[in-house]
Amino acid sequence: MSDYFLKKSKQTQRTSYQNQVLPYYVVPQKTVPLLSLDESSVKKMILTFEKRSYKNQELRIKFPDNPEKFMESELDLNDIIQEMHVIATMPDLYHLLVELNAVHSLLGLLTVVDLLQELTDIDTLHESEEGAEVLIDALLEGQVVALLVQNMERLDEQVKEEADGIYNTLAIIENMAEFRPGLCTEAAQQGLMQWLLKRIKAKMPFDANKLYCSEILAILLQNNDNTRELLGEMDGIDVLLQQLSVFKRHNPSTAEEQEMMENLFDALCSCLMLPANRDRFLRGEGLQLMNLMLREKKVSRTSALKVLDHGMIGPEGADNCHKFVDILGLRTIFPLFMKTPKKMKKTGTSEKEHEEHVSSIIASMLRNLKSQQRSRLLTKFTENDCEKVDRLMELHFKYLEAVQQADKRIEGEKHEMVRRGEILDDSMEDEFYLRRLDAGLFVLQLICYIMVEISNSGISQLQQRVHQILNLRGGSVKVVRHIMREYAESIGDGKSDEFKEAERKRIMDLVDNF
């Protein structure tokens, strides 16, 4: 039987911990003979399980203070549960679990966490989509997440088997969320969000479970405004900031701890997509923490830059932009603009990502800052004989060349496709556009936006320097205008039509005056 019960290892960076995971609920097991699985043998197995489950419940109620009386029924029940692991190899028979009401009985037992984990293994679910859908529907109908959360609240992580029970429970939730992303909102509302935040901030040594919690949290928040709002209302922004503040002056001590840190940063970036959370981030002094991280030059610096970008972008980022200037953030961001750090290989960040985030932060400030703070930003560009304009133009030509080369290759491929009589459909055009973005189109657009903004600032010195370098290096105002028109067309995804229209008009006015 052992072949059936080998745990399918999850291919993630958690493997070093996973070697320590044992099945939750350890009971002396009898060897169960291998069964040739067909519909009638599975039915028989499920009915046996139902009978034994009922008998066990009956005896527990009858003799609550005398475990000896129900111990034998407990062992019989455990044996049939172990046998049922074999069903996890036949997802097309999952409908029997539902039809014979076994899902309801399974959810009533706390001893089946590892069976549920095998039944919901993501590879198994994809083997029979139909069987998987039926099982997941029944689990959700039985409020599976709420029951699993209640179960986790009862477990004591000081006991190894119970800590493993929590790990396996999180695996069930991850499997279901991966198979059906739509259940994240429901899961979060059934107590999971609250439990995750509580576990993440618990004063316990770092372990596999804390890493897994950070991963599940990041999954719940992906593309989901409902869960982002829920986290904000539960003071989750403060929890994330408190947990990340540890990495202000210290690097994570292991690869697993670094993965957890990055999961928490990802969760924070997701949350900041919701305007209401920008305000919570501001009040929780998130800007001050990110600014300190940028100055400390630890591994966290790269992710802190990404968080600032998310916090300051768009009109909802205006308050954060003003505060960033007030806490002397310009002194931190411009050295990173002038020189891309060499150490980024360690964190797996590319030069392009770094330059994109820094350019985006500066573009957001130019868009959002008013009065005194705006003057302070523009003055930065005039310092040291306009050295920052020189750097801006250097980046402009670097990315212009990269994008032009990509465009040339794409045109060649399009020409070849037309020659072969192939049709250029929308999906092909989308793929070409993604390749242009990979080459650096978005960074180029941000840099051109900064160029037209500072040229329209009323400081003649800046306008002259931009045009002087363009002419010197054979650049063209026409090319910049073309890039900005394309940028204006793509602006404001998910925003109202009025916003898009006003923003496009604002950008095109800047371009016309360039």
pLDDT in tens, 296-311: 989 999 999 999 999 9
Q: How far apart are the first and last CA of the chain?
A: 75
Which phi and psi angles does 51 have, rounded to 5°? -60, -50
Predicted pLDDT at 351: 92
Looking at the predicted structure, is the pLDDT value of residue 238 above 80?
yes
**341: pLDDT confidence band, cut at 50, 70 and 90?**
confident
- Cβ-count burial 38-65 (b if 16+ within 10 Å, e if not): eeeebeebbebbbebbeebbebeeeeee
> What is d(CA 344, CA 301) in angstroms, rounded to the nearest whole number?
9
Predicted pLDDT at 421: 87
Q: Each residue of 379-435: pLDDT tens digit?
A: 999 999 999 999 999 999 999 999 999 999 999 999 999 899 888 888 899 999 999
> What percent of the chain shows pLDDT beyond 90?
69
> What is d(CA 362, CA 102) in angstroms, rounded to the nearest whole number?
58
Helices assigned H by DSSP within 100-245: 102-107, 113-119, 122-127, 129-141, 144-154, 160-179, 184-187, 193-201, 208-221, 225-233, 236-245
Nearest by Cα to 208 from 5, 10, 4: 10
Looking at the predicted structure, is the pLDDT value of residue 50 above 80?
yes
Mean pLDDT of the chain: 89
Predicted pLDDT at 74: 85
- Element holding 173 (H helix, E strand): helix 160-179
Q: How wide is the angle at C-alpha 380 spanned by C-alphas 379 and 384, nearest 5°?
A: 105
AA letter at 143: Q
Give the chain's largest Cα–Cα span: 93
Question: What is the pTM (predicted TM-score) of this model?
Answer: 0.86
Predicted pLDDT at 57: 85
DSSP 8-class letter at 191: I
Looking at the predicted structure, is the pLDDT value of residue 35 above 80?
no
> What is d(CA 446, CA 437) in angstroms, rounded to the nearest whole number?
12
- Cβ-count burial 306-323 (b if 16+ within 10 Å, e if not): bbbbbbbbbebbbbbbbb
Residue with tokens 């066990």: 56
Q: Each residue of 10-30: pLDDT tens digit?
A: 333 333 333 333 233 333 344
Lowest mean pLDDT among 94-103, 227-236, 309-318: 94-103
Name 485's Cβ contacts closer than 8 Å, sequence gap at least 6: 508, 511
Q: Each residue of 162-209: pLDDT tens digit?
A: 899 999 999 999 999 999 999 999 999 999 999 999 999 999 999 999
> What is d(CA 279, CA 283) in angstroms, rounded to the nearest whole number?
6
Q: Each residue of 434-469: pLDDT tens digit?
A: 999 999 999 999 999 999 999 999 999 999 999 999
**3-state SS, residue 24:** coil
DSSP 8-class letter at 32: -
**Token pair of 142 as six digits:** 């039985």
Q: Is 415 exposed, middle or buried (0-12, 13-18, 19+ CB in 10 A)?
A: exposed
